[in-house]
Structures are given as structure tokens and as C-alpha cells.
Amino acid sequence: MGSTFIYSETVTANKSIQVVYEDDEILAINKPAGLTVHADGRTKEMTLVDWIIKNYPDIKGVGEPLTLSSGEVVDRPGIVHRIDRDTTGLLIIAKTQKSFVYLKSLFHDRKIRKEYHAFVYGSLPKDFGTIDRPIGRSRTDFRKWSAEPKSRGELREAETYYEVLKRGEGATFIKALPKTGRTHQIRVHFKAISHPIVADGLYAPKREKILGFERTALHAFSLEFATSQGRILILNAPYPEDFSKAIETFGN
């Protein structure tokens, strides 16, 4: 398999998308904040899928479509996993059906190491720890998930390991490694231990936005996994501008 590491950049809907790695089977991009991965049936904004179809038309038939609760079928070419609209960072896209099936199995079997960086409110009591709380639906808001007692619906196991990278006034800079991949998992888990992610409008709507963030201060920093040829691939996504600025000034 031919492969090349690249840092190229294109712009779509006033949002910059970096391609951080590409080979014959895999495309890895650094997703900007404010870009939804695929349509949800409610909004008409441009999505990452639109960018994929425009720039990589051969990927159009790869993967599996999603049927929404409304019955609408949404194409998700090459999409193996997602990150939230306001989360930045690394996202892998399958370029062939073979690679889609392989990558999907890695995520399902938890054979991909996922590392996120985030700023959370307050000072965590320990420098490292594990949040092991099942996640269900929120009882108060259909958009939200919850790791609190009496969550609604099926409770699914969820585990997040974290380490403190730096401490500062009013917040803590952390590394989070989710073992499972539940929707909003990191956001929900830190909310559950009373240290929600900075500027998270859904899980900390009444908290003051600090450190210059106008969106959820969460970045998908790294993915590590074995390719189908057995080669260990470690991919990193550079910080966006708001993260870089916050880190420079944080704790000083």
C-alpha cells in the first residue's frame, strides 16, 4: 500500500479542513469546530459528508447509510466514527469498503486508542483517575445523555480514563482516554463528576465561558491503531487556534 503523510488544507463553508494523513485505504482529517459530520434531518447546513463527496467522489458508495427516526435515509460515505459538531480534531474516513469494514471492527472491538484533550471547570482532586459510570438518556432534555442516577432508557457501560496535564485558575487541562465510545461520553462523564467541559453550552449552559472559548473546549488529539497490514499508525491532529492560545496563557 502506498502511503503519504501530508498536511494539506481546504476550506468549505468558511471552515478550514486539514488532511493530516492519507493512503490508499484511509483518509484522516482535522475537523474544525462548527462542522457537523453528517446530516441529522433537522438542519440544512453544510456537513463533512458534503466535503467528502466533493473532494473524494470515489468514496460516495463506501460505508453504511443511516435511517433516522423520521424514516429519512442519510448517506454517510466513509464515515466510521463521529465527533460532535463543536469538537475539533481527528476523524478517520474509510476510502474503500474493505477499509470501512476493518476500521468499524477496530472501533467495535475497542482496538483503537483514542486520546482527547480538554479544559474542564474547577480543579480535579486527583492527577489521574477513571470515570466508570453507565450512560443513559437524560430525563430533562432529549438532546442530552446522562451518567447521573435514574437516567432514562437503557444504561450502557461507559469508562473514561483521564490524566491532568496542567492546572490553572478556575480550570484544569486534561487528557481523556475513553475506553468505550458512547455519544457525548467525555462531556457526560465530566459533567457527572461536577467538572463539565469549559464552554459546553449543552452540559454547562449556565457556566461562564472562560479561556477565550466560544465552543466546547474539547479536541480529538490522537488515534493509534494497527492497519490491516499490521503496521502501527499513530495520528495526531494539531490544536486549533483557540486551544493553542488557551494553552499558552493557561496557568501563567
Cβ pair 242, 213 in contact under 8 A: yes
Sorted by sequence, the CB contacts under 8 Å of residue 166 that are 6+ apart come out as: 172, 173, 247, 250, 251
The stretches of the chain forming alpha helices (DSSP H) are: 48-55, 97-108, 185-192, 241-249
Indicate the pairing of strand 88-94 with strand 218-226: parallel
Residue 122: CB atoms within 10 Å: 15
- Is 141 among the residues known to form the active site? no
- 130-144 residues labelled b (16+ CB within 10 A) or e (exposed): ebebebbbbeeeeeb
The one catalytic residue among 24, 50, 75, 84:
84
Active site residues: 84
